[in-house]
């Protein structure tokens, strides 16, 4: 798989008109199908986040665009693909110098969670871990449950003076060595 076309593909950012993100994604999916571009364009994403909205006293989970006016595209760059993508209705251009695409770095792809990476871990129930990313960064806790299929762990942390179980992704936690965990416990 090292030399497959998809391994050479990189993530790029498209700028769109406001509110056109879904239409651009649909148009690009049709473009890929109609022009047999499946070996040049591999994925399209509109990063979304779930938020809780309260209307008329009722709470409701709503999906919102994390970055309005942007669509992420995983592709192998060529002038032909650039021409077809930039001439899609609703696309104003690629993000980069003079409208030429500039690929995202690996750390940016991970931060935006554009690709789900399976993490091989040596965690076990009862291990002390530090949460290094996400809203709970800085907390230390003990693993109560592991879900390898979902790549998530249930960690018991001391929050607001009481023990609380929280669910975090494997990529957000780091196993603490016995010496570090004892040092944290003494403080």
Nearest Cα to Cα of residue 40 among 99, 85, 101, 81: 81
Contact 23, 89 (CB under 8 A): yes
Each residue's pLDDT tens digit, 57-95: 887 778 888 889 999 999 999 999 999 999 999 999 999
Where along the chain do its domains lie? 5-112, 128-186
* Neighbour tally for 111: CB within 10 Å: 11
pLDDT more than 70, % of the chain:
89
pLDDT higher for 95 or 117? 95
Q: What is the mean pLDDT of residues 132-158?
A: 85
Tell me which architecture the domain covering 5-112 has in CATH.
Answer: 2-Layer Sandwich (3.30)
Averaged pLDDT for residues 167-175: 84
Give tens-digit pLDDT for 15-32: 999 999 999 999 999 999
What's the confidence (pLDDT) of residue 120? 65
Element (H, E) at 180: helix 178-186
What average pLDDT score do residues 136-149 get?
86
The answer as to CATH 2.30.30.30 being correct for domain 128-186 is yes
Q: Are 90 and 24 in contact (CB under 8 A)?
A: yes
């Amino acid at each position: 798989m090292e030399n497959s076309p998809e391994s050479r593909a990189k993530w790029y950012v498209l700028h769109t008109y406001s509110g056109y993100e879904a239409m651009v994604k649909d148009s690009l999916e049709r473009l890929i199908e109609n022009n047999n571009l499946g070996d040049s364009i591999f994925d399209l994403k509109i990063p979304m986040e779930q938020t809780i909205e309260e209307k008329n006293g009722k709470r409701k989970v709503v999906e919102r665009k994390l970055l309005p006016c942007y669509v992420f595209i995983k592709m192998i760059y060529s002038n032909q693909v650039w021409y077809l993508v930039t001439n899609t209705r609703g696309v104003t251009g690629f993000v980069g110098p003079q409208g030429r695409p500039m690929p995202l770095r690996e750390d940016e792809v991970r931060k935006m969670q554009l690709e789900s990476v399976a993490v091989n871990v040596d965690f076990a129930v009862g291990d002390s871990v530090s949460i290094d990313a996400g809203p709970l960064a800085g907390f230390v806790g003990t693993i109560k449950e592991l879900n390898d299929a979902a790549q998530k762990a249930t960690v018991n942390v001391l929050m607001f003076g009481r023990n609380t179980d929280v669910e975090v992704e494997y990529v957000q936690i780091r196993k603490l060595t016995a010496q570090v965990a004892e040092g944290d416990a003494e403080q």
